[in-house]
Amino acid sequence: MEEIIKKEIINQLVDSEVLVEGGESKFTVHVKSDSFLGKTIIEQHKMIYAILNKYIETGEIHALTLKTKPKT
C-alpha cells in the first residue's frame, strides 16, 4: 500500500517528493510540492485526501497523518 500511495500522489502532483511511513492501514505521508505554494495547510491536505479518497472509502487507508509543505 505504501508504494500505491506514493505512486498516486506523484501521478497527480508531478513535481512532488513523497515519503510514506507505516503499514497495514495506518500511514504517515510526507509530501513536498510546488503545487502547495500559496495554499493553506488545510487546502494542501484536501488535495492529498482527494487523491487518496478511494482508498479511504474502501478502508485500505484507515488512519492518515499528513505532513505537507511547498518545496521552496
pLDDT number for residue 72 = 78
Q: What's this model's pTM, rounded to 2 decimal places?
A: 0.93
State pLDDT tens for residues 15-37.
999 999 998 999 999 999 999 99
Count other Cβ atoms within 10 Å, centred on residue 30.
Answer: 14
State pLDDT tens for residues 43-69.
999 999 999 999 999 999 999 999 999
Strand order in the sheet with 63-69: 17-23, 26-32, 63-69
